[in-house]
Structures are given as structure tokens and as C-alpha cells.
Amino acid sequence: MSQAQPVIAIYPGSFDPITRGHEDIARRTLRIADRLYVAVAYTATQAKKSLFTVEERVGIIREVFAGDDRVEAVAFRGLMVDFARDRGARFVIRGLRAVSDFEYELQLAQMNRELWEELETVFLAPELEYSFLSSSLVREVAGLGGDISRFVSPPVMKRLRAKLGG
């Protein structure tokens, strides 16, 4: 008797650093996928000044999901679709926080479909309380001494403190 193939999804991004909003999307994904790659891109479409190295970001994500062996933190170079194909992922997950995310996300989804037709993009909505969150806002607030404990998990707080001092 043949066994059903596990559903493998990829959640790509810059994750500099991962926030509770990203975690929320990742956990929702596990309702529809058996296995999830949280994949930190070396090449992000929107060039940004980074705080953490890609390796540090992967390490942080590993700490955040320690104990859940369905989630694997990885870094990838090159095209996301090639990485997804190599790992057997048929779904790419993206979060939609607000209407303002939609145009950019649709562009990415359509380009990715041009690159590999078999990869489906699935959009998930985060919890309302995270709909205004972004990694750059977290970095800015943390850098200016604000309280970010509601926005990031303890391992992320620890790494931010170590990086920014305080």
C-alpha cells in the first residue's frame, strides 16, 4: 500500500530577525503542511541593510523552533524556486499583513510561477496584533531602547540585546 507523500512547505524571507508575526505564520502553516523550511535568503528582492548575518538569523530561527522537528531553519542562495524544488517543497508560504503587501506579493508569486509552474504560493494572514509588525521596526525600536518583548520571542530578545547592547 502506498503511503501519502508528506506535504512540504517553504517560508522564505529575510527574517532579520524573525518576529512573533513570522512565527505565527509558520505555526499556521503547520496546520496544512507536515514539514516546513523557514528559509533565509542570501539574496532578498528588496535590498536592505542587515543587522544579523544570514547564519545568525538561521541560528536564531533554530532556537525559536527548538523542540519542533517539523520546522527546519535553513539558508539558501540563488533562486527560491530552485531551493524549493531541491527540497521537495510544492508550497511557498507568504504572510499578508495588509492590503499594502498585496501588490508586491502578487508580483513575487507570479514571477515564481513563471520560474517553476508547479510551485503554489499560499498566502496566510497573521494574527491581527502582528499586522503592523516588521523586522526593521523591531530593530529600530530595540536600538532605541524600546520594549520589544511583545513582538519577538525570548531567544530573539537575547540576540538583539547582545548585538545592540543594553
Q: Burial level of 150, CB count in 10 A (0-12/13-18/19+)?
A: exposed
**By the rule CB under 6 A, 29 interacts with ligand COA:** no
Task: Out of 32, 66, 98, 111, point to the residue binding ligand COA (CB under 6 A).
Answer: 111
Query: Would you tell me how many other CB atoms lie within 10 Å of the CB of residue 146?
Result: 12
* Active site (annotated) includes residue 48: yes
Tell me, yes or no, if 135 is annotated catalytic.
yes
Residue 97, amino acid: R
Q: State the minimum distance, in angstroms, from the CB of residue 112 to ligand COA.
A: 5
> Which three cell numbers mark 80?
527560491
Q: Give per-residue burial for 30-44: e unless 16+ CB within 10 Å, then b.
A: eeebebbbbbbbeee
Site for ligand COA (CB under 6 A): which residue of 52, 97, 119, 148?
97
Mind telling me the catalytic residues? Answer: 22, 48, 97, 135
Positions that interact with ligand COA (CB under 6 A) = 12-14, 16, 19, 21-22, 25, 41, 43-46, 48, 79-80, 95, 97, 108, 111-112, 126, 130, 133-136
